[in-house]
Amino acid sequence: AKESGKGRYSFSSEEIERRNHEVLDMHIKLKKALEKNEFKLYLQPQISYKQGIPTLVGAEALIRWETSEGIMFTPDKFIPISENNGMIIPIGEWILDEILHIHQQLKDNNILIKLAINISTKQLEVCSFFSKIEEVMTLAAAQELMLEMEITESFLLDDIHGARKTIQEIQRYGIKIALDDFGTGFSSLNYLTRLPIDYLKIDKSFIDDIASDEQKSIVPYIISMAQALNIQTIAEGIETQEQMQKLADYGCSEMQGYYWGKPMPLETFISFAQQFKES
Ligand code: C2E
Ligand code: CA
Ligand code: CA
Ligand code: CA
C-alpha cells in the first residue's frame, strides 16, 4: 500500500486482486476441509473442586483443523476468517452434529458430563441455526445430552431485549448459556442482572495474576457477585496449583486449564476421564 498523504493509503489494483483471491481461496479451502472431514473437536476437562476433592463435570469442545498434509491449525487461524466469509454457519452445524457423536461415545464409556461448545455471534443471527438446534436436541432428547453454549459479549451489546429473547429460545431446549471471556469487554455488569445467564467464564487474563497480585485481583468480587445473582462461575486458563487453590478458596464453581488438562482428542479424553474417576 502507498501512502497518499494525510495518512491515507491506496491499494494498487494488483493488491486488491491478490486480497480478493486470498479471501476466495480460504473460502474454498474451508469448504473442502468440511467435505473431507478435516475438522476435529478436542475436549478440555472442566473440574469442580470441593473440600479438596476434584470431580470431572464437563468438557469444552475446541475446534482444530488437521489438513491431509498433517498440518494442524488452531481456531485463531480460521475461525475469524470463517466468521467473515460465512463458513462459520456450516462449520457450526457440523459442530452440533459432531457433539452428538461425542456424547454418544462418552456415554458408551459411562462418562456422563456436560459438553460446552463455542458459538459465534454470526451463528446467532441466522434462522437456520435454530432449526439445527431443534434437530439436534430432538435427536438428543432420549440421550441425556447436557449441552452448554458459550457466547460472547459482542452478541449482547447491540440489543439487550433481542439477546434476552434469543438466550431464552436456546434455554427452552434445556441448553445452558455461558458468557465467555467475562471481564474483557466493557458493559458487563449492566447486562448480567438483565440476562438469564447460567454460567460466567472468568477470562484467563484475570487468572494469570491471581496468585502474584492477590491484593488487586477482582476475581473474588466477580465470584461473589455471580453467587448473588445465582450464576455459576468457571475460571479458565488455570495453569498452577497456586491459582487452583486460590480459586477454590474463593468458591469458584468450576475450573478449566492446563493444570487440570489440555484440550485433547476424544480417545485421549476417554482415558483421561477413566483415570480421573479412579484417582
Ligand atoms: P476460548 O473459548 O476462550 O477458549 C480457550 C482457549 O484457551 C483455547 O484455545 C484453549 O486451548 C486455551 N487454554 C485453555 N486452558 C489454557 C491454559 O491453562 N493456558 C493457556 N495458555 N491456554 C489455555 P484454542 O483452542 O486455541 O481456542 C481459541 C479460541 O477459538 C477460543 O477461545 C474460541 O473463542 C475459539 N474457538 C475454539 N473452538 C471454537 C468453535 O468450535 N467454534 C467457535 N465459534 N469458536 C471456537
Ligand atoms: Ca470458550
Ligand atoms: Ca474463554
Ligand atoms: Ca477467548
Phi, psi dihedrals of residue 252, rounded to the nearest 5°: -65, 130
Atom of ligand 1 nearest to the CA of 238: 18
Burial class of residue 71 in the structure, from the number of CB atoms within 10 Å of its CB (0-12 exposed, 13-18 middle, 19+ buried): exposed
Angle, nearest 10°, between helix axes 241-250 and 219-228?
40
Average pLDDT for 33-38? 97
Predicted confidence (pLDDT) per residue in 149-162, tens digit: 999 988 887 788 99
* 264 DSSP 8-state letter: B
In the block, cell 452448554 appears at 148
Q: Is the model's pLDDT at 127 over the cut of 70?
A: yes
Q: Is the model's pLDDT at 106 over the cut of 90?
A: yes
Assembly ipTM: 0.97
Query: Which ligand lies nearest to the CA atom of residue 87 in the structure?
Result: 1
Binding site membership of 261 for ligand 1 (Cβ less than 6 Å): no
- The pTM (predicted TM-score) of the whole model is 0.93
- Beta strands 176-182 and 147-151, pairing class: parallel
Predicted confidence (pLDDT) per residue in 223-274, tens digit: 999 999 999 999 999 999 999 999 999 999 999 999 999 999 999 999 999 9
Atom of ligand 1 nearest to the CA of 259: 18
Binding site membership of 74 for ligand 1 (Cβ less than 6 Å): yes
Binding site membership of 90 for ligand 1 (Cβ less than 6 Å): no
Q: Are 240 and 209 in contact (CB under 8 A)?
A: no
Q: What pLDDT is recorded for position 159?
A: 85
Q: What pLDDT is recorded for position 187?
A: 59
